[in-house]
Amino acid sequence: MPSETVHTLWQTAAILIGRLIFAAVFLMAVIFKFTGMGATAGYIAAAGFPFPLFLAWCAALLEVVLVLCFLTGAFFSQAALVAAAYVLFLGFAFHGPSHWAGNQAEFGFFVDHFTFLAGLLFAAVHGPGRVLTLKLGSAS
């Protein structure tokens, strides 16, 4: 098999695995929300946000849409940018500097959001790949 073909297969596999990881992370988050919407609303309220139950449902619905976009590749770059903004917001709102004094592990959670953010931004630029992708919302 020519080296170009192997490289292309490796790239295709990496892109698909990345999309599955993005989808899995948001799927886990949405499952936690749907199985404990009250707990999610409580967490949102504890952070000082108004209308916590409404915001919990909004977050869950956004996460469902993100999962669908990452799995299908439809509106992929747009979804990755929305997810990046969402992850950045979550990092600061729930794990930002005001949380570090009480629990140093919060700093680690905060930093983790930035590694995820980096992956989402990279994905937004490079797109969903050519395999198993709906071409909705893509520039190509």
At 11-42, the pLDDT tens digits run 999 999 999 999 999 999 999 999 999 999 99
In this structure, what token pair is assigned to residue 94? Answer: 């729930």
What's the pLDDT band for 112 if we cut at 50, 70, 90?
Answer: very high
Regarding pTM above 0.75, the answer is yes
Query: Residue ranges per domain, the chain?
Result: 3-126
Identify which of 57, 66, 109, 108 has the alpha carbon closest to the alpha carbon of residue 84: 66
